[in-house]
Chains A and B, each alone.
Chain A
Amino acid sequence: GAVVSQHPSWVICKSGTSVKIECRSLDFQATTMFWYRQFPKQSLMLMATSNEGSKATYEQGVEKDKFLINHASLTLSTLTVTSAHPEDSSFYICSASNIDLEAFFGQGTRLTVV
């Protein structure tokens, strides 16, 4: 099956710093990628839809200035958590769909803000 690679798999950062997470579709082109967040014992919550070449569409309650999304190419979307705080500590995961609308997930990034 198709492969989506997410990097880094885990990161620890200091409060106030920014963290960039990359999501790459390795063997297919993805015009749309999705970013999710999962807090402990909770479900995956859709944060935003990343559209290649245009602005991302954010879910209600997700701050677009805090979670910057860039989808500059058909194989790469990035999520930058700006001025991270401990409450941003979570599991962030991306997904991309191929031409058959089948979704593939990255391995996820576990962010810990200290």
Chain B
Amino acid sequence: RKEVEQDPGPFNVPEGATVAFNCTYSNSASQSFFWYRQDCRKEPKLLMSVYSSGNEDGRFTAQLNRASQYISLLIRDSKLSDSATYLCVVNREGTALIFGKGTTLSVSS
């Protein structure tokens, strides 16, 4: 089983739509969880950390379910600029980050 698994995508949605991405992780000892965004041929950039209580940053909401080892990201009111690949990221021991394969989002007008 892969350490981090994500919806394969791609997700093609119109502007204004709400879209949700899911992710599961295999290492129950993981303590840190993130969503990163990667634009084509660029380095990944941190979108938001994910906390057990769930957290929101503007149009983005992240949820974590430790019992199910499941992470989600919800994007509301999608913008054209949200088009990117979204990477679910989980730490291994120490600070090594393990990336999911990524889910591609394409928002169209």
Instruction: Note whether A and B form a binding pair.
Output: yes
Q: B98 in the interface, Cβ–Cβ < 8 Å?
A: yes
How many chain A residues sit at the interface, stated as a range, is: 20 to 34
Q: Is A44 within 8 A of B95, CB to CB?
A: no
A43, B44: Cα distance in complex, Å: 10
Which residues of chain B have C-beta atoms less than 8 A from A32's C-beta?
A: 94-95
A91, B43: Cα distance in complex, Å: 9
Q: Is B43 within 8 A of A108, CB to CB?
A: yes
Which residues of chain B have C-beta atoms less than 8 A from A19's C-beta?
A: none
**Set A34, A44, A97, A110: member contacting B44, Cβ < 8 A:** A44
B11 to chain A, nearest CB (A): 15
Our count of residue pairs bridging A and B at CB distance below 8 angstroms stands at 41
A107, B43: Cα distance in complex, Å: 5
Of A68-76, A82-90, A98-106, the one contacting chain B is A98-106
A54 to chain B, nearest CB (A): 13
A45, B96: Cα distance in complex, Å: 11
Q: B97 in the interface, Cβ–Cβ < 8 Å?
A: yes
A6 to chain B, nearest CB (A): 8
List 21 A–B pairs whose Cβ atoms lie within 8 Å, in order of A's numbering.
A32-B95, A34-B95, A34-B96, A42-B101, A43-B99, A43-B100, A44-B44, A44-B87, A46-B96, A46-B98, A49-B96, A95-B97, A101-B95, A103-B46, A103-B95, A105-B44, A106-B43, A107-B42, A107-B43, A108-B42, A108-B43
